[in-house]
Amino acid sequence: MAKIAIVDLMFSWPPHGGGCIDVKETASGLKRLGYDVHLFAGYCPWAWQRGAIEENLLDFPVHKIEFTYASFTRFALPKRFRKAVDGFSPDVVFFGDSYFLKPFLIEAFADYPVVARFYTYEVFCPRYYMLYRDGHTCDTHYLESPLHCMRCAMEEMRYPILRWRHDVWSHEFVASLAFLPGYHKHVVSSMQRCDAIIVYNRMTRDLFLPYNSNVYVVPGGVDIERFPYSEPSRKGVRDTKYILMTGRVGDERKGVWVLQDAAAILRKERDDFKVWITHDDVTANDDVIEAIGWHTHDKLPQLYSRADICVVPSLWPEPFGMVAVEAMASGRPVVASKTGGLADSVVDGETGFLVPPGDAPALADKLRVLLDDAELRTGMGRRGRERVEEIFSWPRIIQEHYPPILSEVMVRS
């Protein structure tokens, strides 16, 4: 079977985020399918997140490449990775998570078949990969308007840079000299060089298509055994139903105020519901909204089982929207914003409803429909679970998407 080298600058295990989980599941899944998978991870003991790996917890070989502060640059880093990967002589090089240095890494492996996975809008938005500003998705991006986007990014990165207290994002920004006009050329040529680009949703695919025609949408996955299906409790018209919003509710981009406004609209006409938000700040509490505190990932299945409806009112285009898929796996109907990956994972009218981002009256309308109809809640929840089992379980994702992409890349190269 083919040899796959996964190159990642952000990997840590236990994971610090969804990108790490995706890389780990991909590597483990490919190994189970018979591929010889080795992970090459950047290791910076002086930087949080980079390469803090407990190798005994992983079922594939890991090569940690250690960097000092001085060697973590666009010049030295690709050479170090190239030297390490050449020793393995892989058939395909797969690029996992990294930000501004990814184009230089891709260019360094130009003579290998290259597959690059993008986890969010990292090449399109230098302002913390969000493609979002002031409540709206941006109508331009870095590849179209590089100077405009760099100025916008500097507003956000001003303080980490001024104080020389870098997070991983601003650190790579400086290390890659991404503020130079020539960086744009490296990004475009590296995009064109990739034999395959893998993204989470159709919106990101459409952004990549002018630069590379081999773009594949592969969704993220969820551990369906951790989120068991449970039928919502049969509640009568007057029983209190619980509407749940999970995740980083305090993050302005998650749109909790849209849910607050929608709840206020509904409160004028009914009192048979309550809204739970996973937030510690009790000042958000009123007679409808209840901040139930931050819930760790292991407590979420229990929380979903107690809720009747789940809401994901995100304002920014979530690349994947893990919470929506977890709620669907738990058998709950989801009302989500029609943006980014949420528009792909939730099927409008089947597993929940999609509403325009930031539209509180539309959200209230859909919640009203679900609050009034117990059969609809149960039916949508059941179809949501079926959809997750069909599309979003890790073994299925790996088995259905990756072997065809890898074979095509190897044949084409």
Partner 1 sequence: MYMEQDQPDGLDIRPARITLFCSIGNHFERAVRELKRRFPEAALTVVGPTWRAAPLREAGLVDNLVAVSRDKLSLTKDFRECARLLAAIRRGPCDLLVTMYDSPGLNILHSLSGCPHHAVFDARARFYSVRVSRLYAARMAVGGVVRAILGGLTYVLIRSTLFLWGLAKRRGRAPLRRP
Nearby residues of 52 by Cβ (< 8 Å), 6 or more positions away:
12, 13, 43
Q: Which two tokens stand for residue 38?
A: 């080795």
Per CB under 8 A, the segment of 71-79, 181-189, 238-246, 312-320 that binds partner 1 is 181-189
Cis amide prior to 14 (ω within 30 degrees): yes
Per CB under 8 A, the segment of 22-30, 107-115, 280-288, 347-355 that binds partner 1 is 280-288
Per CB under 8 A, the segment of 37-45, 96-104, 184-192, 376-384 that binds partner 1 is 184-192
Interaction between residue 161 and partner 1 (CB under 8 A) = yes
Which residue, 92 or 152, has its beta carbon nearer to partner 1?
152
Contact pick of 158, 234, 297, 306 for partner 1 (by CB under 8 A): 158
- 321 and 336 in contact (C-beta within 8 Å)? yes
Interaction between residue 413 and partner 1 (CB under 8 A) = no
Give strand pairing partners of 43.
66
Interaction between residue 15 and partner 1 (CB under 8 A) = no
Interaction between residue 252 and partner 1 (CB under 8 A) = no
- 182 and 103 in contact (C-beta within 8 Å)? no
Per CB under 8 A, the segment of 182-190, 236-244, 256-264, 307-315 that binds partner 1 is 182-190
User: DSSP secondary-structure letter at 389?
Assistant: I
Interaction between residue 52 and partner 1 (CB under 8 A) = no
CB of 136 to partner 1, least distance (A): 23
- 25 and 221 in contact (C-beta within 8 Å)? yes
Interaction between residue 150 and partner 1 (CB under 8 A) = yes
Per CB under 8 A, the segment of 45-53, 176-184, 316-324, 331-339 that binds partner 1 is 176-184
Nearby residues of 297 by Cβ (< 8 Å), 6 or more positions away:
none
Q: What Cα–Cα distance (Å) separates residue 138 from each residue in 9, 148, 206, 260?
A: 27, 12, 14, 24
Nearby residues of 373 by Cβ (< 8 Å), 6 or more positions away:
none
Which residue, 181 or 236, has its beta carbon nearer to partner 1?
181
Per CB under 8 A, the segment of 15-23, 273-281, 312-320, 385-393 that binds partner 1 is 273-281
Nearby residues of 289 by Cβ (< 8 Å), 6 or more positions away:
260, 263, 275, 277
Here's the x/- map for partner 1, 189-228, by CB under 8 A: it reads as ---x-----------------xx-----------------
Interaction between residue 288 and partner 1 (CB under 8 A) = no
Q: What Cα–Cα distance (Å) separates residue 370 from each residue in 262, 321, 373?
A: 14, 21, 5
User: DSSP secondary-structure letter at 222?
Assistant: B
Interaction between residue 60 and partner 1 (CB under 8 A) = no
- 47 and 13 in contact (C-beta within 8 Å)? no
Q: Which residues contribute to the site for partner 1 (CB under 8 A)?
A: 143, 146-147, 150-151, 154, 158-159, 161-165, 174, 179-182, 184-185, 188, 192, 210-211, 250, 279-283, 294
